Amino acid sequence: MVVRCEWAETNEHEIDYHETEWGVPEHDDRKLFEFLVLEGAQAGLSWDTILKRRENYRKAFDDFDFEKVAAYDESKIDELLQDSGIIRNKLKVCSAVNNAKAYIKIRDEFGSFDAYLRTFLPDGKPIQNSWKTMDEIPAKTELSEKISKDMKKRGFSFVGPTIIYAFMQAVGMVNDHVVDCFRHEECRKMR
């Protein structure tokens, strides 16, 4: 019997995401932007709601090409707000456009968004946690609060400490698979 994190036992979307992406260190700036947009869109909703719409998000947001998203105008934003395949929340859609602009500034300053993120990690390496149960895993940490504060200073929105911690988990900045989950050790080795 395969033991996995209990949140990932509901449906195939969650199982696949848990077993192929969650907690895996991600360094590609386009993928990091994708997760930033999706985590912001998820605010107040279930992650499964977003996973089911992920392909629609990829189509709607030009496969998360942040250069293209940064150039979206009011007409494109209005078009997105008519797209039933995504969460049609004007604040969240505008946030994605705004965040693409801030993202480019960080990339220009640090060479990549990934390089910026790694400045927050000890030795630039993912944090390895050893949670025994899902109840032990925090919704936010001092580090997610620090990153959130810095990103807000740089003009990002929908990047509160809880969203940022979920982002950190998704892109493997932290390994929050519980210790008896088969992915815990696999992700630890990717450090």
> Is the per-residue pLDDT at 1 higher than 90?
no
Domain membership flag for residue 1: no
Domain membership flag for residue 94: yes
In angstroms, the CA 22 to CA 31 distance is 12
Domain membership flag for residue 32: yes
CATH code of 75's domain: 1.10.340.30
What is the mean predicted confidence (pLDDT) over 79-105?
98
Domain membership flag for residue 2: no
Domain membership flag for residue 75: yes
At residue 191, the pLDDT reads 73
List residues with catalytic annotation: 17, 39, 47
In angstroms, the CA 87 to CA 18 distance is 22
Domain that holds residue 36: 7-189
In angstroms, the CA 51 to CA 92 distance is 16
Domain membership flag for residue 98: yes
What's the pLDDT tens digit per position in 105-128? 999 999 999 999 999 999 999 999
Domain membership flag for residue 84: yes
Total domains present in the chain: 1
Cross-strand pairs, 175 = 128
Q: Is 94 annotated as a binding residue?
A: no
Tokens describing residue 21:
């992406």
User: Which has the closest alpha carbon to 124: 173, 176, 177, 184?
Assistant: 173
Q: Is 177 annotated as a binding residue?
A: yes
Per-chain mean pLDDT for the chain: 96
With a threshold of 0.75, does the pTM exceed it?
Answer: yes
What phi and psi, each to the nearest 5 degrees, are found at residue 155? Answer: 100, 5
Q: Residue 111 CB: number of other CB atoms within 10 A?
A: 11
pLDDT category at 34 given cuts 50, 70, 90 is: very high
Q: Is 18 annotated as a binding residue?
A: yes
Alpha helix stretches (DSSP H) within the chain: 12-20, 29-42, 47-60, 66-70, 74-81, 90-110, 113-118, 142-153, 161-170, 182-189
Q: Is 13 annotated as a binding residue?
A: no
Domain membership flag for residue 82: yes
Coil, strand or helix: which one is 126? coil
Coil, strand or helix: which one is 109? helix
C-beta separation of 10 from 73 below 8 A: no
